[in-house]
A and B are shown apart, each in its own frame.
Chain A
């Protein structure tokens, strides 16, 4: 606690790092703290109510069941139930499939786009506005728009493919392509923010590094690999982590576009959690699934932090 206190303003912290000798000091310190906490209280209450308490409650709930309005402790029953659910593993597989494809496109596309935009001496701000426009749409508007483009019959995508004499696709209507189609929608709608973040990172790379690499005879790809990537490594890995955590929670796209189908091929973990709670009224089972999701994503974040720290020490 002393570390918290000694960092205050010079005039203030002398009051509390020493033992207060007179009542005046103590009273003043107390008043100062009360005032400071009064500024905090609003945010503190909201965090407590909507983040910290639900966190604890979810864990508690996952070990309980409600029967006829009475709450019972049931140990690991809820967890056993979700693990036995035939939709459980497919839901994880779907979620990982979405995350995997989205990572390939959603991670590579913005970086390449930023790389190209950064080379231009013209139209940079136009391109920047362009890629960010879809981010500003209400997600449902963008998503429903693509429903028309992806219609297997009259949809624009198939018309274009047809025009180019390429094989058409049944997009959302087929088990094999549904998830991939959702990735296209989601990448189009979201890549703008990542692109702008990378662009800012690219602009902070000192030009001398490229010059030095070029003098050493490094070609274009080697300059990207040996200068650009290491110089933006921190931001790249941070965005990678954030993106994995975000895509693992995919819900809106499949809720709006496919309703989890066809044949459950786009039912994600969050979708399953939603179904448990709001279609089957099994809140405790849903909470258990929430705990599993927390653990998985928490473990992933922890792994990231550990790797990041180890990388920093080397």
Chain B
């Protein structure tokens, strides 16, 4: 019952202080309070959303609100699925996100590999120009980007309402190239030399030496690539109005639906990424710190 509070490394508050009787009590109280408040703030809205779909529209606006649906019904969920065309929205989003991920993996990995290990002429200039684009606020470039995809220079193709309009711009992701290059830089050149003595060309080296070593960073890049497309709003709003993403489609339909149906729809729209997160939680957490801790 009164086990000492364990500590791994020393933090702000000393373990001695923590293990005094008063300290331990304060610690427990703060911990329980924090857990309660955090659960309420972060899970509460999600719980309300998940149960809201099971309520009737009248029950939804009742004062005080009901904690558990009185007459749970899945009607709103089936209705939301049909009226939102959720199946189609989901499929669109999966196609956009999946294709974007694939293209990003292929082209960003190839570029990072080239810049890190093959080191062509002007490589550092190119890298610098890519990194400089991180400084450009995305929303400020939306207008010329939109006009560009309406009529691609030289080949005069209109990409509007095709998946390419989502896929191709995601490849121009300086952060990906930067993360991958930094990781490849840490792979010793001796390994590559050994491969090249064995007669492996650059593609073979990339495939059988570099990539197997790079699984963690590839996981990070993949997850963030998927999530970024999933969460984007302004760009899909203007470029794929006929084949909307989940994020945009829910907003378009929001005004014309009964409340419980909309809330059921919001819940359905949230399930895929939440599930993805709970499964890959460890990789995502690791990725967040990998990207930012260069100081």
Binding site for B on A (CB under 8 A): 1, 3-5, 7-9, 11-12, 32-33, 35-37, 39-40, 42-44, 46-47, 49-55, 57-58, 61, 115-123, 126-134, 136-142, 144-146, 148-149, 153-154, 156, 159, 163, 188, 193, 196-197, 200-205, 207-208, 210-211, 214, 220, 223-224, 227-228, 234-235, 238-239, 245, 248-249, 251-252, 255-256, 270, 273-274, 277-278, 283, 286-287, 290-291, 293-294, 297-298, 301
Known contacts A39-B111, A121-B6, A154-B61; is-contact A197 B139 (Cβ 8 Å): no
Q: Is the CB of B41 within 8 A of A293?
A: no
B30 vs chain A, min Cβ distance (A): 8
Q: Is the CB of B289 within 8 A of A200?
A: yes
Q: Residue B22 at the A interface, CB < 8 A?
A: no
30 contacts between A and B (CB under 8 A): A1-B122, A4-B119, A4-B123, A4-B125, A35-B202, A40-B114, A42-B171, A43-B171, A49-B152, A49-B168, A53-B148, A57-B147, A130-B43, A136-B277, A137-B274, A138-B250, A144-B251, A145-B49, A146-B45, A159-B64, A197-B293, A202-B11, A210-B11, A210-B12, A235-B295, A249-B139, A255-B233, A273-B139, A290-B143, A293-B140
Q: Is the CB of A144 within 8 A of B172?
A: no
Q: Residue B194 at the A interface, CB < 8 A?
A: no
Kindly report which residue of chain B lies nearest to residue A29, judged by CB atoms.
B121
| 9 tightest Cβ-Cβ pairs between the two chains A and B | A207-B10, A36-B120, A36-B118, A43-B111, A54-B144, A42-B107, A39-B114, A200-B289, A46-B171
Kindly report which residue of chain B lies nearest to residue A47, judged by CB atoms.
B172
Q: Residue B247 at the A interface, CB < 8 A?
A: yes
Q: Residue B261 at the A interface, CB < 8 A?
A: no
Q: What residues on A are CB-neighbors of B137 within 8 Å?
A: 245, 248-249, 293-294, 297
A249 vs B207: C-alpha distance when bound (angstroms): 39
**Extra A-B contacts (5), CB below 8 Å, given A50-B148, A291-B140:** A40-B126, A55-B133, A121-B7, A193-B288, A203-B9
Known contacts A138-B247, A138-B270, A210-B10; is-contact A1 B139 (Cβ 8 Å): no
Report the contact-size class of chain B (Cβ under 8 Å from the partner).
35 or more
Q: Is the CB of A9 within 8 A of B193?
A: yes
Q: Is the CB of B270 within 8 A of A44?
A: no
Q: What residues on A are CB-neighbors of B118 within 8 Å?
A: 32, 35-36, 39
Q: Is the CB of B14 within 8 A of A210?
A: yes
Q: Is the CB of A42 within 8 A of B111?
A: yes
Q: Is the CB of B172 within 8 A of A50?
A: yes
Contact of B14 among A4, A58, A204, A214 (CB under 8 A): A214
Q: What residues on B are CB-neighbors of A128 within 8 Å?
A: 285
Could you tell me the dominant secondary structure of chain A's interface residues?
A: helix
Q: What residues on A are CB-neighbors of B270 within 8 Å?
A: 137-138, 141
Q: Is the CB of A197 within 8 A of B289?
A: yes
Q: What residues on B are CB-neighbors of A301 within 8 Å?
A: 135
A211 vs B12: C-alpha distance when bound (angstroms): 9
Kindly report which residue of chain B lies nearest to residue A277, judged by CB atoms.
B143
Q: Is the CB of A290 within 8 A of B141?
A: yes
A283 vs B285: C-alpha distance when bound (angstroms): 41
Q: Residue B145 at the A interface, CB < 8 A?
A: yes
Q: Is the CB of A129 within 8 A of B281?
A: yes
Q: Is the CB of B177 within 8 A of A277?
A: no
Q: What residues on B are CB-neighbors of A36 within 8 Å?
A: 114, 118-120, 123, 202
A126 vs chain B, min Cβ distance (A): 8
Known contacts A40-B120, A127-B38; is-contact A293 B110 (Cβ 8 Å): no
Q: What residues on B are CB-neighbors of A54 within 8 Å?
A: 141, 144-145, 148
A290 vs B143: C-alpha distance when bound (angstroms): 8
Q: Is the CB of B234 within 8 A of A49?
A: no
Kindly report which residue of chain A lies nearest to residue B291, judged by CB atoms.
A197
Q: What residues on B are CB-neighbors of A134 within 8 Å?
A: 42, 45
